[in-house]
Amino acid sequence: MKKQFFTLLLSLAGLGSIWGQCAPSCSNYIVSPITFTTFSGLGGASGYGSNEQLLSDDQTSSPLPIGFTFSFMCNTYTQFVISSNGFISFDLGAPQGCCQGQLLPDPNQPNNLISLFWNDLYPPGGGTLTYALTGVSPNQMLIITYTNIPFCCTANPPYSSGQIVLYEGTNVIDMYVSNQQGNNSGLMTQGIENSNGTLAYPTPGRNASVWTATNSAYRWTPTNAPTPPGAISGNTTACAGTQVNFVIPPSPGATSYTWSLPGGWTGSSTTTALTATVGASGNISVSAVYTCGVSSPTTIAFTTIPPPVVGFQSINPPLVCSGSPVTINTSGAFTYTLEPGSITNGPPFIISPNVSTTFTLMGTDANGCVSLNNPTANVSVNQTPTVTVNSGAICLGESFTINPTGATVYTFSSGFSVVTPNTAGVQTYTVVGTNSTGCVSPPALSNVTVNALPNVTASASRNTICRNESTTLTASGATTYSWNTGPTTAAITVSPLSNTAYTVTGIDANNCSKKASINITVSLCLGLNEANLAQAQLVSVFPNPSNGEYTLEASEAADVKIYDLQGKLIKSFSFGQGVHKIDLSAFASGEYILRANTEHKTQQVMLIKE
């Protein structure tokens, strides 16, 4: 006996658990179609007859008795009011509901209602509006009848006819429509709504719409339902594309949860918490799943802040040479970011791309919402050439050739690629190159070091000597030397037999060279008068060296012969006293010997032709 009693307790405990999950819900109704009928010939029960209500346009009756206690949407009532516009309400001060049916649920007044065909009806135009109690307690019925009520504001059809029936004990609601041809001037609603306008059960297809019906009937039956979840916690406003979190308290006995999201959202969960990415505005709802079924949803309204729609206004120019600036203007947001590079210093964005690039634009508006469209734009880049040039060193008077590479066409600051600087020091020349796409390089620099020529001089220990005597010639101003007679020392000793010109070439450390000449006069030294005559210059030649044209100044008439260094006579002529011209420009550059003779004198001069 104890074992059976213990088993009974366990069974009752389990039943209590099921009841906790799926207890009767006073606000849950099943809406279903039923067979059409009509109730007529009413009267007599509990002092009720057929009580006609003479209502004017847009009027609500005074409070009327139901005749029994009626439970509706978790509250009990004994009185109601009738609206001339096709509904009854348990709010005794409810407005008449002009002038068309609301979309249920709606928190705006009127609420706490049962609507047969809520619209702008017009009882003054004809028809009757009655209520009556029939049957025996505890099975009584309250019947509200609308008969041939026209639409405002006429007595002409179409008419609205039908009945609302409330059942004692079961709290069932029936609605019968015998004739409803619709009203194109307003929307019509059929259904029930709770006291604060947050829960409603409209008839399918008849919720604030234009509809017609003949001999149609629906029933609203209170039913048991699984307990819905508690209130949803979480933000109710956020930017599209962002993540938001929602949570509900656990429902005892629930095995899982089913979340429902508006269009465009992503995210799912079977637990009490949900993380989702925001899409369109709408309702977020969640239902609890029990072993006995699925609860009605708990809902929260969510408003989505739309993202900014950004765009490229202009790209100028769309084709550039690498390193050249491009100006990009954008629109649609408060701040912007260009990728690649996470560039934020615009608009306008002024960038200098080195390669062709596809830029992606993102924007953030004043609400902090980030764009989702993220358009792209292309900037095409032609490569700018890089020009390289040579540098070098030359001696003053020499030429230098600038050899650039890296482009197709070049422009030289000197005008030409071959330069001949006339000043010692470092001379800088710029070269700009243009390639086949028309892109121009930055300037390249060619540095030419121009070394000054050495200041070569030649001196003699004695400029005039007697035949068979010697003199020492000394060169200075350079590093190495080369005499026309062969020696390569700075000082040489010579013993010419006749007047002779000597030339020395001096080369400095920069390998720059310059020549110097010196004339040695040779006398026969035969006596005082002869010596004096020998010491007197017979001819003077200048300039020497020259390019081939010389001026000869003779102190007296003389015969002149010119020999090359091999002793070959190349030219001869006679001069009188005075200045004369000698032209050796037809002969090769080099050294020649000029010999002038009179009856008493002989003079020899070395001519240098450059």
Lowest mean pLDDT among 123-127, 204-208, 578-582: 578-582
507-547 per-position pLDDT tens digit: 999 999 999 999 998 877 654 344 344 445 788 888 888 89
Q: What pLDDT score does 155 carry? A: 92
Lookup: tokens for 428: 């800088």
Lowest mean pLDDT among 57-61, 101-105, 344-348, 524-528: 524-528
Percent of residues, the chain, with pLDDT higher than 70: 91
Is 311-382 assigned to CATH 1.20.1260.10?
A: no
Which has the higher per-residue pLDDT, 470 or 183? 470
Q: Does pLDDT of 610 surpass 90?
A: no
Rg of the chain (C-alpha set): 62
24-76 per-position pLDDT tens digit: 467 889 899 999 998 874 443 333 446 888 999 999 999 999 999 999 998 99
- CA–CA separation, 45 vs 136, rounded Å? 8
Instruction: Write the single-letter amino acid at 319.
Output: L
Q: What pLDDT score does 184 carry? A: 65
Q: Does pLDDT of 157 surpass 60?
A: yes
- The number of helix segments (H) and strand segments (E) in the chain equals 2, 48
Lowest mean pLDDT among 195-199, 520-524, 582-586: 520-524
Among 139, 115, 147, which residue's Cα sits nearest to residue 67? 139
Among 361, 377, 360, which residue's Cα sits nearest to residue 318? 377
**If one looks up domain 536-610 in CATH, what number appears?**
2.60.40.3080
15's CB contacts (< 8 A; 6+ apart) are none
Among 186, 214, 179, 183, which residue's Cα sits nearest to residue 97? 186
List C-alpha distances in Å: 163 to 46, 445, 511, 548: 20, 103, 127, 140
Q: What pLDDT score does 220 carry? A: 96
Q: What pLDDT score does 290 carry? A: 87
Q: How confident is the model at residue 118 (pLDDT cuts 50, 70, 90)?
A: very high
Q: What pLDDT score does 28 carry? A: 83
What average pLDDT does the structure give for the chain? 88
Q: Topology of domain 453-530, per CATH?
A: Immunoglobulin-like (2.60.40)
Q: What pLDDT score does 47 carry? A: 35
State which of 5-9, 250-254, 371-375, 408-412 shows the largest mean pLDDT.
Answer: 408-412
- Residue pair 29/201 in contact by the 8 Å Cβ criterion: yes
Residue 282 β-bridge partners: 302
Rounded to two decimals, what is the model's pTM?
A: 0.44
272-301 per-position pLDDT tens digit: 999 999 999 999 999 999 886 788 899 999
140-153 per-position pLDDT tens digit: 999 999 999 999 99
Indicate the DSSP class of residue 343.
B
User: Do the two domains 311-382 and 453-530 of this chain adopt the same fold?
Assistant: yes
Q: How confident is the model at residue 369 (pLDDT cuts 50, 70, 90)?
A: very high
- CA–CA separation, 412 vs 303, rounded Å? 68
Each domain of the chain, given as residue ranges in start order, spans 24-224, 233-305, 311-382, 392-451, 453-530, 536-610
Q: How confident is the model at residue 217 (pLDDT cuts 50, 70, 90)?
A: very high
418-433 per-position pLDDT tens digit: 999 999 999 999 999 9
Percent of residues, the chain, with pLDDT higher than 90: 71
- Residue pair 321/381 in contact by the 8 Å Cβ criterion: yes
Q: What pLDDT score does 545 carry? A: 86
Q: Does pLDDT of 12 surpass 50?
A: no
List C-alpha distances in Å: 13 to 16, 20, 271, 545: 5, 10, 26, 136
- CA–CA separation, 531 vs 522, rounded Å? 10
CA dihedral 571, 575, 581, 583 (to 10 degrees): 0
Q: What pLDDT score does 20 carry? A: 43
Q: What pLDDT score does 531 carry? A: 39
User: The CATH number of 233-305 is which of 2.60.40.10, 3.40.50.2000, 2.40.30.10, 3.40.50.970?
Assistant: 2.60.40.10
Arithmetic mean of pLDDT, 101-130: 95
Arithmetic mean of pLDDT, 563-592: 88
Residue in the block written with tokens 């004198």? 601
